[in-house]
Amino acid sequence: MTLSEISDKVTHSTGHAERLNRPFGACYRDADYIREELVAELTAALCGAMLGFATTPREESAAYIKDWLAEFHKEPTYLFDILTDVNRAARMISERLACEQEPAPPGAIPAEAA
Q: What is the DSSP letter of 105?
A: P
pTM here is 0.82
Q: What is the pLDDT of residues 57-68, one digit of tens each?
A: 777 777 888 889
Non-local CB neighbours of 42 within 8 Å, separated by 6+ positions: 82, 83, 86
Neighbours of 81 (CB within 10 A): 13
Q: What is the pLDDT of residues 77-97, one digit of tens each?
A: 999 999 999 999 999 999 999
